[in-house]
Amino acid sequence: MKRISRGIGVLFILIGIAWLVWSQVTGHQKTAVSGDGVPISYSVYGKGEPALVFVHGWCADRYTWYHQVPYFDKKYKVVALDLAGHGSSGRQRQVYTQEAFGEDVAAVVRAVGCRKVILIGHSMSGTVILEANLLLKGKVAGLIAIDTLENFERIATPEQIRQYIDPIKEDFVKGTSAFVREMFPQNADPKLVDRVVAKVSSAVPSIALNALEYYFKTPVIPLLSGVDVPLWCLNADFWPSAPEINRKYLKSYNLRIIPGLGHFLMLEAPDEFNRQLEDIIQQIEK
pLDDT tens for each residue of 136-180? 999 999 999 999 999 999 998 999 999 999 999 999 999 999 999
Is the confidence at residue 183, as pLDDT, over 50? yes
pLDDT at residue 27, rounded to an integer: 60
pLDDT tens for each residue of 108-139? 999 999 999 999 999 999 999 999 999 999 99
pLDDT tens for each residue of 28-85? 789 999 999 999 999 999 999 999 999 999 999 999 999 999 999 999 999 999 999 9
Cα 233 to Cα 254: distance, rounded to the nearest angstrom: 6
pLDDT at residue 12, rounded to an integer: 43
Angle subtended at Cα 217 by Cα 109 and Cα 225, rounded to the nearest 5 degrees:
55
Is the confidence at residue 21, as pLDDT, over 70? no
Domains and CATH numbers, the chain: 2-285 (3.40.50.1820)
Please give the mean pLDDT across all residues of the chain.
92
Is the confidence at residue 3, as pLDDT, over 70? no
pLDDT at residue 286, rounded to an integer: 87
